[in-house]
């Protein structure tokens, strides 16, 4: 399983260090995100990074990524992508109580590239 690149991992660490759930980007609302812990096991924590779009009365995840933080390696591994607007909801890595299991290596590479690009943009705007 591939982990985030160094710059994306630094941005994610900085977002977690802010100790805020909702992080606003006034100059680019498309980069406003919510970060929260979606689950934990003794091997990893799951972080959900989500941007919400308001469509009518509904708030849609567009996108949401689950990223596993593995305690042993101290690495962030993108494992899931969801976009309610595009009706996409796919796991590339399956989380379980005893660890992470690769489901689709090619898809996990796509998740990694997507997460890296998104976090690079967020880092440039929000972190500096």
Instruction: Note whether residue 112 is domain-resident.
Output: yes
State the pLDDT at residue 55.
86
Domain residue limits at 30: 6-127
Q: Residue 126 pLDDT more than 80? A: no
Q: How far apart are CA 102 and CA 118, in angstroms?
A: 22
Q: Quick check: 92 and 67 in contact, CB under 8 A? A: no
Instruction: Note whether residue 90 is domain-resident.
Output: yes
Which pTM was predicted?
A: 0.92
Instruction: Note whether residue 25 is domain-resident.
Output: yes
Instruction: Note whether residue 42 is domain-resident.
Output: yes
Q: How far apart are CA 74 and CA 89, in angstroms?
A: 26
Of residues 73 and 56, which shows the higher confidence score?
A: 73
Instruction: Note whether residue 1 is domain-resident.
Output: no
Q: How far apart are CA 69 and CA 93, in angstroms?
A: 13
6-27: average pLDDT: 90
Task: Give the percent of the chain with pLDDT over 70.
Answer: 98
Instruction: Note whether residue 105 is domain-resident.
Output: yes
Task: Give the percent of the chain with pLDDT over 90.
Answer: 76
Domain count, the chain: 1
H-assigned helices in the chain: 6-17, 105-122
10-31: average pLDDT: 87
DSSP bridge pairs for 36: 48
Q: Residue 127 pLDDT more than 70? A: no
Q: Residue 83 pLDDT more than 70? A: yes
- Residue whose token pair is 């979606």: 38
Instruction: Note whether residue 36 is domain-resident.
Output: yes
Instruction: Note whether residue 54 is domain-resident.
Output: yes
């Amino acid at each position: 399983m591939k982990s985030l690149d160094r710059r994306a991992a630094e941005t994610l660490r900085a977002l977690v260090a802010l100790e805020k759930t909702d992080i606003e980007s006034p100059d680019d609302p498309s980069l406003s995100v919510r970060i929260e812990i979606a689950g934990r096991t003794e091997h990893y924590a799951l972080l959900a990074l989500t941007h919400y779009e308001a469509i009518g009365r509904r708030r849609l995840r567009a996108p949401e990524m689950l990223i596993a933080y593995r305690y042993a390696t101290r690495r962030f591994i993108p494992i899931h992508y969801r976009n309610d607007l595009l009706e996409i909801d796919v796991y590339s890595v399956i989380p379980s109580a005893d660890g992470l299991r690769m489901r689709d290596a090619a898809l996990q590479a796509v998740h990694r590239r997507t997460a890296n690009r998104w976090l690079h943009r967020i880092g440039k705007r929000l972190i500096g």
